[in-house]
Every structure is written in structure tokens, then in C-alpha cells.
Structure 1
Amino acid sequence: MQDTQSFFSFNKPLDWEQGCAANMDMSTKGLSIRSTEKYGVYRIVRLDELEGMESISDASVTPSGKLLLMDDHAGVWVYDDENQHREPLFRQGHPLFSGSAMLASLSDVWVTADPNSERRLGVYAMSNGQTLWAASEWNGLELLPLSLYAGGKLRSVYTLVPITITVGMNGNLEVPAGGQLVVLEWSEAGETIQVYEHESLRLEEAASIEELRGRFSLSAYDETVAVLDSHRKGVTVFFGADRSAMSFTVDQEGSFAGISIDTNHNLYIGSSGADWHEGGNERFILKYRGNGEFVEKVSGFRGRAEKLLHDSRNRMYVFDRFSGQITRLELQARTMTLAETGLPQGVYFSAELDTTETETIWHKIRLDADIPEETQIRISYFASDRKEGLLDGQFVDYTDFLTSEEVSIRDKLRATGHLWSEPIVNPQDALLMKAQGQYLWLKIELLGSGQKSPLIRKLRVYFPRTSLLTYLPAIYQQDEEHSPFLERFLALFGTFFDDMEDRIERISANFDADAVSGPYLEWLGRWLAISDRDSWGEVKLRQLIREAPTLYKLRGTREGLIRMLRIYTGTEPFLLEYFQFKQMQETSELRRLFEQLYGDNPYCFCVMLPPEYVRTDQQRMTIESIIEDGKPAYTDGKLIVLQPWMYADMHTYLGINTYLSEPTLLTLDERSSMPYNTVLIDVDRDKRMDIHTRLELDSELD
């Protein structure tokens, strides 16, 4: 109805890449604010609310996410926080370890380490509490574990132990100044398979074993092992089978405890400061790369941590004995913030859109986008007949300035602020007012929330200006005061007509069986009078529609029926007509058999299919419907489903549903059955060694 228009389209990454984006993702889906996964609180387990448990002294987590808890009296429990189900593993009062022991777990075993008990290291079955192995010494030295971890690629147990031990002035065991600590890796069988040693694990001053308890935290994943010394705020990391090591210092304020490694080999270190002198709510979990590079503070959790753990699904657990709770953190999608503003937003500047004609009056923009609640899209523009202009006292190329990586977003926004139009907020179809010139530039701002971002799938910019106002009398066009409003009002109807004309122009695509699916494909199937379209499925229905012209030419013929059945079943059917066995009926011995099998009607034919292609009543009904629709006039068709057994006087076709093989021993298994009419012996010939006995075929000697 309106004059032909042209447009610029942004609908694939190559289109967007012509401009410059800040904090934006340009993907095949469209343009959106960058996002990342960050930890957020999923659930808090308050341990004092669990009935039947004393004060919890230590906690661990299995790879599947179940919590393993130990109370002050050495009672051990397993707790499923999803179903709020708890089950005791060890009752209180046993002599194996004390309530001050350290706890760790694997999928089917759990581990304790206690330098104050006779059994320093013990591994127990999760199912029944049976001791699998235990150790009290290593390499001739008394085993005094200071930290414990279980897990990693090889399902190993890791302990941090001193190898330089002396007796202090008060008679207590201590590690002297310069004393060495090492990490021992134990196999599932209780053997030491690796020793991790580094100079950073030497003590600067003497300390007793009791003083060293709680000072160190240990974690491992794959072939990475990390040790945190909370007293010196130092971290030692071992890599690979060669046990190469590096160390770094936590340069953040505060005191720290607990270290854990995720599946990407990132390190997480918890804050252990008390509320009254550490700023309370400003305590964060710190995230580091494996090489010691600081990444960020985990802003999704603020609080005290005594122990950090990860399960196999990268969920993080924070144990705080002081408050008596375990916090579970899960990775959640978060929109990233723009560095210049600190807000979850993105800014995009386009290159120039060139119509090649001066004084072009730009018409409108059309936007295909998802705009969730609490998010916004703002589009500004400016047009000019010149590509260059004066910005900050310099004559520059607008496109070069806007797309330059060397100019910050803040400078671009400040220098070009006077050029842009008032922003159009969340437009779907909007006129471009006062936009005249050969070139047009766009500024797109995406404003998101903490977890959501708008997504622009497609953007079109139309030119030149066309309007239904031109179809009205001249008096309506000459009224400068009211014609702009009338033009905008009529633009609503212009959009409606544009959409309708666009659908009419693309209507042919709806007739292509390879291009449509779902309801449109079923709609095409109705054109062919196909019954039970749902039972065909989209793949078979497409093939049937493609071959429809040929099939209709062959309708009522043997070849046409076979091709229809081949499309539906995916196999070649066997079609038997009367003339094919007519001569055999001349023999009186065979006449009765053929009449029983195929009938004596010369105008009836049989379609035979293996049973695996006619599994359900719906399939049988569809096949019978195909035979009924495709049979020649004045004939009848009968479906015969071949059965996977052989009768000498029934439907027997060698190589099709009948196979001859050597006899084998009787074996009843999941693929065999014995019907009620099976006879295992010959009457009057049982218990005989005669012609019916064949060794290794139907008989065995024990």
C-alpha cells in the first residue's frame, strides 16, 4: 500500500561487530548485557534446629551434596538438607576418636583425623560404619594430623602433618622453629602415594601441636593441592604429578580460614574475623586463580567462615561453628556491571548507516527484543549529511571516534551528548523524528537488573520517510501544527499494513514442507487428506508431502501402495497377489493350505510386514488405512503380521521370519521363555541313553 522502503538490519553478530560495544555480548541470539555465574545463597542449614544432635564440632559434604556432621561427643550423622532427613552413623561414647576430631568424606566412605586419640587417621564405610583402614604413624614417625581433606581425582585422603617434632619444656609435643610440615596423600587402600613438601610450609617460630590445630586448612581437586596458613595469611599450591609448587600471600585486610578448590581450579578463601573487630557484614569469601591472581570478592555471601567445601556440582558450603550454621551457595547467572558506572548496563555505538543520498529523511526503527521486568532498552540517534564534525575542539570522523577502542565510554558519552536525540524507551515500532541526512548513527543502552538482561534479536532502520498522510487531501499535509501528530497517528496503521503485506509476501514459505514444522506441517498434511497425521511424525510426513505428486499418479497401483507403506514403516513390505500362487492351487494337496492362508478371493491381495514394524494397535490401524486408501478399485487388501516363529504349515519364509541353525543347549535367560505346552522328554523314552541322547548338544556329563 505504501511506497517501497529500504532498511538496514542488525540480526547477526557480523552486523553488530561493525560498531563498538561496552559490556555487551554479541552472539547469534542477539545483543545483550554480558553475564557471568556468581555464587549466591541457596539455603542455610541451622544446626541448632536439628533435633537429636549436640553442638556440631565439624562438618563435611559428600560429592552428592549430603552433609556429614559430627557433634562434640563424637557422634556422626549424615543429613540430607533437600529432604530434611538425618541418619546416625556413629553413636556417641565410642572409643575410636574424640569430639575434637576432623571430619572429611567421599562418596561411600568418611574419614576422621585426631592427633589426641590412639587412632590418628581412620577411614570408615558409609553404609555400616565398618573400619576400612587406620593409621597411627608414617615412615616411622608419629602421625599428628593438623588438617584433613578427602576427595580429588583419585579419591585420595590428604593430611597435613609435621615431620619435625620435639618435646617442649612443659612436656607437650611441639614443632620447633624451622620445622617442616608436609602434605601426605593416602590411597583408598591406606598407602602413602605422594608427599608434598615446600619451604613455605616451614614454621617461623616454635608452636605446640595444640596451637597448630585449626591454623591450617587443606583442599584438593584433580592434581591440585592447596594449603592455607591462616596465621601468616599464606597459601601454598601444588600442581600436577611432579608436585611443582608456588606460594602467595593473601593481601586483603582481616583474618582468614577455610580454603576450597572448584572444578575450574579456582581457589576460595573464607573470612574468619569476629563481628566486633572485623567489620561484621563486610566479610567476604575471596576468589583467586590457581596462580595466585586475585579475581574478586564473592559478594553473594557476607559472613564468617570456618571451613569451605565444594561438591561435585560446584556448590560451595560454608561452615561457621560460631553461629552454628552451614550456608549452601550455588552458581547463579548475574549480569556484569559497566566499569564506568558500576551498574548492570551495556552501551553500543553503531557505525554510520549510509543511504548514499543527501537529505534523506529517516523513517522509523523496528525492534524484535525480549525486555524482562526491571530492565530497559534506550535507543538514541542523530543524522547528518557529513561524516565529520567538531568534538572536544577537534575535527574528527564520527564513526572513527565512536568505534575507537582507545576512547573510553565515558569520554564518548560526554563528547557526543549534544548530538543524540531524546532516547526512545523500549521501542517496538517508533518513528525517527527530526532525523535528516545521508548518515545515521545509533546509541543503544541496555539497562539490566542483577540477574536479567534485555535481549535484542533484530533491529531494522527504515528509510526514506513514507506516510499514509500523503493519501489524504493536501490541507491535512499543510497544517504544520497538527500534521506531525497526524503522521504519528497514521503510522500505527501503516505498521499494521506493512506487517500484513510482509506476511503476504512470505506466504509461499508456509508451503515448503522442509521449512515448516508443528501446526503448519499438519496443516499441509490436511491438503493430502492424510488421516492420523499424529502417528506419522514430522520426518515421515515431510517425505510424504515431498513425494505426493508422484504418489498421486501411482494411486491405485501396486507400486504406489508399496511406496506409501515404505514411507510409513521404513521397510519394504511383501505384497502377494492371487495370480502369484494361482498355479499352486491346481494341486489339490496345496489348495486347502493356500485358501487358509490367503483366501480364495481372486480380487484380494495380502500385505505382509515383520512384527517389529507393527508394534501397536495405532500402527496397525494406520497401515490398514493406507491399504484401504491405496488399493485398486474392486479389490480387498489384508494385512498379515509375520510372527517370529515357524510352523511347517503356516506363514514360513526362510530368511525373513524363519532361520535354520544347529541345535544348542537349553538356556533360560532374559531373552528366553518356556510356554505352557512345552514337553521336555519323550513319552516312554525318558532316562535312556539312546538315539535321543547327544553329548554336548542335548546332554552333559557331570
Structure 2
Amino acid sequence: MQDGQTFFSLNKRMDWEEGFDANVHMLEQGFSIQQSEKYSIHRIVRTDELDGIPPICDMTVGPGRKLILLDESANVWIYDDESRHRELLFRHGHELFSSQAMLASMSDLLVIADSSESTERRLALYSISNGQTMWAVHNWENLSLYPLSLNTKLQTANTLFITVPLDIAVGMNGSPEVPKDGRIGIIQWNSAGEVMRVYEHDAHRMPESIPISKLQDRFYTAAADGTIALLDNQLRTVTVFHEDGRDPFHFQLEQEGRFAGISIDTNHNLYIGDSGYAQQEGVTERFILKYRGNGTTLDKVTGFRGRTDKLVLDGRNRLYVFDRISGQISLLDLRARTMLLEDTQLPEAVYFSADLDTTETETTWHKIRLEADIPEETQIRFSYYTSDESEGMVDGDYVNLTNYFTDPDISVKEKLRATRDLWSEPILNPKDALLMHAKGRYLWFKIELVGSEQKSPFIRKLRVYYPRTSLIAYLPPMYQQDEEHSPFLERFLAMFSTFFDDMEDTIDRISGHFDPDAVSGPYLEWLGGWLAITEHEAWGERKLRELIKRAPELYKLRGTREGLMNMLQIYTGAEPFILEYFQFKQMQETSELRQLFTQLYGDNPYTFCVLLRPESVRTDEQRLVIEQIIEDQKPAYTEGKLIVLQPWMYADMHTYLGINTYLSEPTLLTLDQRSSMPYNTVLIDVDRDKRMDIHTRLGLDSEIE
């Protein structure tokens, strides 16, 4: 950095929070325009174009995001919309359920509920892999089941909910009906076919008797972790039940529409579809409505417009919309959407700074440097204002400028209108820009972020430099005194000034790259290269960092027993055992032991052995690295041998007490206070010897001839 120059730096959240922002998403690393996740169509499956499959009556989503389809012939198809592969789950003519059945999935299980009088399986669970029946029921506690809606819990794969009449009578024509004041409730089942709980609310009592057949397509059920919702599309009401025992919440839908289908996402927001026909009078647009769990209207899913007969949410909050009339299944994914600034209704954000005070009047401000990500179709506009006074005229009033810019009670629209004449011409997408005609003790700036529908600029760091310095000062006076051309020359030289500033800044921070505790990744490997360590992955960052820090100490000990032990301990994490010739020389001279010691350690007096536990050398790669360490650290005239100890049980092999072999005290099996069994007792049953199927001990009581 050039002599006598300093800067204001805004690179932390607390720095930016001194100003005022609107529609800004502030993070510790920087800020961008507020964004939210909204649904948009990812893929559309048109089931009417699937050859060999009759029109679809119902659908659900199975494992692997495969679609499970029920056609009007009561066939169930497993369909992969990406590979366009389909297969039949049950044989044709299975008669297990009718085309009026409802589908839901529980992990790798398929739930089918059918209210048809012709079926004996009103609720059944099948394996999706092979169609095997897991369990099936027709009634519960002497109550015939007539499923009106079906769903499973989003987060867990072992709970399902069916909406059924809890009171049933026989009508005048012999058909089942719900009597006057009869209840409609939700029964919760587990995957084993056991009823766990029943949910009901007085709002779902029938004011008059009504045939069960007329209740079809009236109720819709949704469930998420801890929350169950029941939609009554005739009364236009939603009842939210809670598994923790809280009182149910009941609310009325105020919007117009013919509602059908309900789902709950992981944030317990409700999604309700519209099944109205486009040709109906007054039906122009049909949206999926979004509500909070307390009934507050949030928004419309504007990414989808069309008819809804069923809504299904999977575990990743992907939304499937089924239109039975067209046979169309729309897959909606959550995607980031840039939020609109309330005062302008545009995808933008505004930031007003507090004052930057140099404490010296008539300061000439130099430049700004902005670190930011600016995607295509987005923009950053930077404007500034300087003055020797902290107060000024705004819209006819004399105000403290910092207080005005940061006042949260003044709308952004009003601030932009009232201060439009204060600001400089905006600098577009500034990465490195001079501040022209910027003179004064104080500087304020305004940043406008302009985004697209899905993208936003992201600002990480801003530096504002002062006072003005230029490389033109190092040129002959004739270049400085040319009033016509010197401004251009000054701007031209500013590019080289930035290059020099970066170089000086790098030089100032270069010492940080030599600190093994402060660097990682490529920089740490670079430091390791100074020590001729090339197998960085074999060492790992933790070991490599310790090796670099202890390098001065280790290199003084290179070629010594202690140095080798330290290096091996850093790499293996365990202390090695080093055996040198002088340690067993006297025993080597004994004729009885010479052959054994030669076999174990060799007879070269310039050879030593490094013994390591088996857990220290688990792979061939580790063995190669250890052998390289021994080769690098041994004295030049010696040879080192690596021996990986094994858990031997023979006393004449590499057996070392306390290292890979242990002696324990004999123990007795105590039968009672007066009786015990010695440690070396062997129990046998002689009369069963030599029987291959019961008691066989080769070499003891059985032989193979």
C-alpha cells in the first residue's frame, strides 16, 4: 500500500449492521438480496401418453421417486418417469381392490384403502417389491371401515392415517349411511396393523344422515411429524390435529374455489389444491394455496396453475400434483426466488451506510475496492456523498445525515426520493473504482443490489481508501500540471496502483503462509514440500502439521535412534521398538541361540530392526511410507529392517512380553462357596466321542483315515 494511505474496511456482519438495509439477507460472510424457496414445475408426466396403461384414477410416490399408478382397471403400475420404465405390481384380475381405491406409500410398502362394497380388504398393506400382502383388515372394533381419505406421515415410514365414519347405520335402501350427528374421524395405524389413536372434532359431525357414497371425494387427509390435517371441501374447512395432545385448531377457508388435495411440508405449512373446472363461470386461474398451521394465508404457489385432485409431498418437500381429468402429474421442486423490495416491487435491495469519518476536513477520498459475486443478469450500483459537515439539507429539512439514512421509520422509497440529488452518479459493478470529486471529512454511500428472478449479487467486503494518492506524483511536473490530460493519466495509472497495492498486501501477509497452524490444503502441502514430503495424502493434515512444526528439532536428530523414533511416532501415533545389534550381541555368541537370533534379527552388526504393533501398519501404503521414513532417517552406513509384530502364541517366534504377548494369572471357576474348578480342567463326554454331528475333536477323540 502506498505511503500515508489508509482505508475503512467493512467485512464483518457487525460492520454492515451500523447502516440501514432493506430486503437484505445479512450473513457473517456478507449480504445479498433476500431470497425464498418457491415451487416451480420441474417435470410433467402425461399418463395418457403411456402406451398400454388405461386412464389413471389415483397415484402416489414410492421409493426412489418412482410413481405408483392405479388405473381404471384396478391395475397398479410402478413407473420410473426418468427411464420411462413401467411394470405391473399385481397380476391382471387380482380382485384385491377396485379402481375406487386410494393409494399411499410407506417407504417400501404400499397402502391401499378401498371403500367398495365388493372388496373384503378395506385397508391393506403390500410390499412394493413383490406385491406380497403384509396385512389386511375389513373392520376395527366391530366398526366396518369405509375409507374416505388416506395418507401417511411424511417424516416416518411406519404411520398411516385413514378418514372413516365412526358412526354407521343402515339406510332405508339397505345402504350404509352416517346417521344424524354421526362422527367423521381419523384413525392412526402403524405398519404392523395396530390402531394407535383416533382423532375427531365436533366440526365433523353430520347435521343430517347422509349415505356414505355421497361422502366420497369430500375429505382429504395430510400428515407430517406431529401434525395431521383434515380438509372438508364441502364445508370449506380445515381441522389441524396435534400428536402432542394439544387441542385441535379449526379454521375456515375464505378464498373462492373448489378445493381438493392437501399436504403438509416439513415446516408444517399447508398446501391446498383447487379442482375447479376451467369452463366454470368465474374460474380463470387455479392455484395451490399455502397456509400456516394456524390458518394464516401465506401465499399462492404461482409456479403452478391448473387443476388439482391430489397433492403428495415426499420427504424432500417435492410436491406432486395429480389432475385426474387430464391424467397429468406435475412434479414441483423448491427453487430459490429473489424477493421483491416492498416499496418498489422489484427484485432489488438497498443499503445506506453510516458516516465514515476521517476526522480531518477536506480529505480527498481515493477509491473503493469491492469483493463481490455478480452473476449474469444482476447488478451492483454504488453511489457516494462527501461533506465536511455531518448535517445537511434533505427535502427542505436540516438533519443529521447518518441519523436520517439509518432511521428505520423512514421508508426506503422516501429516502430514495428525498436524497436523489445528494448522491454521485452510480458506479456500476465496481470491483476497483476511483472516487471522483469526493472531498470532505465524512463519506456516506448507498449500495443498490439488482437481482433477477433466481439470482442475486453477493457482497463480501468493501474497502474505502483515503487520502488520494497517485503514481502521477512520481512523474515529471509537466505531466502533473497538464490540466487537460492529467485526470485521464491519473485514472490510467490507478490501474497499476491497484496492482502494486495487491503485491504489497501479499508481501505483508506472506508470513502467514509459513505458519503450519494457519494454513491448510495446498499451502500446507507446499510447506511439506520444503521437507521433501511428497506423500501428503498418506500423512494427512494433522500429522503433516505436527511434522512441520517439529522440523527444526527433528533435523538436528536425523541419523540418530531418537530422531527415527520421533518420526515414526508422529506418523504411526505409537512408540516404535528399535533393536540394535549390541543389545543381543552377547546372546548371539551363545551357540544354542545363534540360529534363532540370526533368523529373527540377522547377523549383520550394522543392521537394526524396527518393531511396530500390527495396528500401526494396516495397509501396504502405510508400510511403504514407514519404510521410506526408516530409509531417510537411518545413518548412512546402516540398514534398517521393518518388522510388523503379529499376535504370536509361540514362545520361540517374535514374542515380547508386554508388547504382543501377555501372561495372566490362573483363574478358578467358582461353583459355590465350597467348590471350584481348576483353570486347566477339560470337560468331556466320553460316551459321545467320535460322533460327527455332536462331539468331534480331530486328533483327540476322532481321526480321519
TM-score normalised per structure 1 = 0.90
* Structure 2 match to 1:527: 530
Equivalent residue letter for 2:45: V
* Structure 2 match to 1:672: none
Shift of 1:171: 6.2
Shift of 1:53: 1.4
2:409 to 406, 410, 420: 406
Inter-partner Cα distance in structure 1 for 2:189 and 2:602: 79
1:300 maps onto 2:292 in alignment? no
1:328 maps onto 2:322 in alignment? no
Inter-partner Cα distance in structure 2 for 1:417 and 1:501: 38
* Structure 2 match to 1:67: 67
Inter-partner Cα distance in structure 1 for 2:170 and 2:624: 90
Cα 1:592–1:17 change in 2 (3 A) is: same
Inter-partner Cα distance in structure 2 for 1:627 and 1:171: 94
Cα 1:588–1:219 change in 2 (3 A) is: same
Equivalent residue letter for 1:151: K
Inter-partner Cα distance in structure 1 for 2:558 and 2:159: 71
Equivalent residue letter for 1:33: I
Q: Secondary structure at the match of 1:301?
A: coil
User: Mean Cα displacement is larger for which, 260-269 or 57-66?
Assistant: 57-66
* Structure 2 match to 1:475: 478
* Structure 1 match to 2:435: 432
Equivalent residue letter for 2:543: K
Q: Secondary structure at the match of 1:413?
A: helix
Inter-partner Cα distance in structure 1 for 2:407 and 2:307: 45
User: Mean Cα displacement is larger for which, 277-286 or 521-530?
Assistant: 277-286
Shift of 1:417: 0.8
Shift of 1:251: 1.5
Equivalence map 1:105-120=2 (5 Å): 105-107=105-107, 108-119=109-120
User: Mean Cα displacement is larger for which, 259-268 or 120-129?
Assistant: 120-129
Equivalence map 1:490-569=2 (5 Å): 490-530=493-533, 532-569=535-572
Cα 1:104–1:532 change in 2 (3 A) is: closer
Provide, for residues 330-357 of structure 1, a one-character-per-residue CA deviation record: whole Å limited to 9, x for no partner: 2222222211222221111111100001
Inter-partner Cα distance in structure 2 for 1:91 and 1:154: 26
Inter-partner Cα distance in structure 2 for 1:511 and 1:263: 47
Q: Secondary structure at the match of 1:563?
A: helix
Cα 1:241–1:519 change in 2 (3 A) is: closer
Gaps of 5+ in 1: 664-685
Q: Secondary structure at the match of 2:280?
A: helix
Equivalence map 1:164-203=2 (5 Å): 164-165=167-168, 173-175=176-178, 178-203=181-206
Q: Secondary structure at the match of 2:445?
A: strand
Q: Secondary structure at the match of 2:304?
A: strand
Aligned residues of 1:281 and 1:302 also touching (Cα < 8 A)? no
* Structure 2 match to 1:666: none
1:28 maps onto 2:31 in alignment? no
2:271 to 261, 268, 271: 268
1:614 to 596, 610, 617: 617
Equivalence map 1:445-460=2 (5 Å): 445-460=448-463
Shift of 1:299: 1.7
Cα 1:279–1:409 change in 2 (3 A) is: farther
2:645 to 642, 646, 650: 642
Shift of 1:578: 1.3
* Structure 2 match to 1:103: 103
User: Mean Cα displacement is larger for which, 539-548 or 406-415?
Assistant: 539-548
Inter-partner Cα distance in structure 1 for 2:696 and 2:646: 30
Aligned residues of 1:260 and 1:309 also touching (Cα < 8 A)? yes
1:623 maps onto 2:626 in alignment? yes
Q: Secondary structure at the match of 1:399?
A: helix
* Structure 2 match to 1:419: 422
Cα 1:355–1:593 change in 2 (3 A) is: same
1:575 to 546, 555, 578: 578
Q: Secondary structure at the match of 2:340?
A: coil
* Structure 2 match to 1:88: 88
* Structure 2 match to 1:252: 255
Gaps of 5+ in 2: 667-687
Cα 1:631–1:154 change in 2 (3 A) is: closer
1:588 maps onto 2:591 in alignment? yes
Aligned residues of 1:224 and 1:265 also touching (Cα < 8 A)? yes
Inter-partner Cα distance in structure 1 for 2:533 and 2:160: 66
Provide, for residues 575-602 of structure 1, a one-character-per-residue CA deviation record: whole Å limited to 9, x for no partner: 1111111121232111222222222222
2:136 to 124, 134, 141: 134
Aligned residues of 1:282 and 1:302 also touching (Cα < 8 A)? yes
Inter-partner Cα distance in structure 2 for 1:502 and 1:60: 60
Provide, for residues 40-59 of structure 1, a one-character-per-residue CA deviation record: whole Å limited to 9, x for no partner: 22221111122321111111
Q: Secondary structure at the match of 2:248?
A: strand
Shift of 1:558: 1.2
Equivalent residue letter for 2:364: I
Aligned residues of 1:223 and 1:239 also touching (Cα < 8 A)? yes
* Structure 2 match to 1:674: none
Inter-partner Cα distance in structure 2 for 1:140 and 1:554: 87
* Structure 1 match to 2:677: none
Cα 1:243–1:364 change in 2 (3 A) is: closer
In the comparison of the two structures, how many residue pairs are matched? Answer: 674
Cα 1:592–1:194 change in 2 (3 A) is: closer
2:152 to 145, 150, 153: 150
Inter-partner Cα distance in structure 2 for 1:639 and 1:192: 66
User: Mean Cα displacement is larger for which, 39-48 or 127-136?
Assistant: 127-136
Inter-partner Cα distance in structure 2 for 1:195 and 1:625: 70
User: Mean Cα displacement is larger for which, 40-49 or 55-64?
Assistant: 55-64
Provide, for residues 551-588 of structure 1, a one-character-per-residue CA deviation record: whole Å limited to 9, x for no partner: 12212221111111111222111111111111212321
Inter-partner Cα distance in structure 1 for 2:367 and 2:169: 84
Equivalence map 1:663-682=2 (5 Å): none
Equivalent residue letter for 2:73: H
* Structure 2 match to 1:50: 50
2:393 to 390, 394, 410: 390
Cα 1:401–1:659 change in 2 (3 A) is: same
* Structure 1 match to 2:684: none
Equivalent residue letter for 2:532: A
Aligned residues of 1:380 and 1:422 also touching (Cα < 8 A)? yes
* Structure 1 match to 2:678: none
Aligned Cα RMSD in Å? 2.7
Inter-partner Cα distance in structure 2 for 1:282 and 1:475: 73
Aligned residues of 1:562 and 1:572 also touching (Cα < 8 A)? yes
Shift of 1:438: 0.7
Aligned residues of 1:63 and 1:311 also touching (Cα < 8 A)? no
Cα 1:460–1:278 change in 2 (3 A) is: farther
Inter-partner Cα distance in structure 2 for 1:642 and 1:329: 60
Aligned residues of 2:231 and 2:237 also touching (Cα < 8 A)? yes
Inter-partner Cα distance in structure 1 for 2:4 and 2:251: 67
Aligned residues of 1:158 and 1:183 also touching (Cα < 8 A)? yes
Equivalent residue letter for 1:220: A
Equivalent residue letter for 1:121: R
Give aligned-pair identity as a percent: 63
* Structure 2 match to 1:123: 124
Inter-partner Cα distance in structure 2 for 1:88 and 1:165: 36
Aligned residues of 1:280 and 1:303 also touching (Cα < 8 A)? no
Q: Secondary structure at the match of 1:460?
A: strand
Aligned residues of 2:257 and 2:274 also touching (Cα < 8 A)? yes
* Structure 2 match to 1:668: none
Equivalent residue letter for 1:129: G
Q: Secondary structure at the match of 2:444?
A: strand
Inter-partner Cα distance in structure 2 for 1:650 and 1:624: 22
Shift of 1:178: 4.8
Q: Secondary structure at the match of 2:361?
A: coil
* Structure 1 match to 2:235: 232
User: Mean Cα displacement is larger for which, 81-90 or 380-389?
Assistant: 81-90
Q: Secondary structure at the match of 1:90?
A: coil
Equivalent residue letter for 1:333: A
Shift of 1:189: 4.1
Equivalent residue letter for 2:36: T
Provide, for residues 119-177 of structure 1, a one-character-per-residue CA deviation record: whole Å limited to 9, x for no partner: 26121322443444434444444433222223365733322223455566766554466
Inter-partner Cα distance in structure 1 for 2:77 and 2:398: 74
TM-score normalised per structure 2 = 0.89
Aligned residues of 1:375 and 1:452 also touching (Cα < 8 A)? yes
Inter-partner Cα distance in structure 2 for 1:118 and 1:628: 80
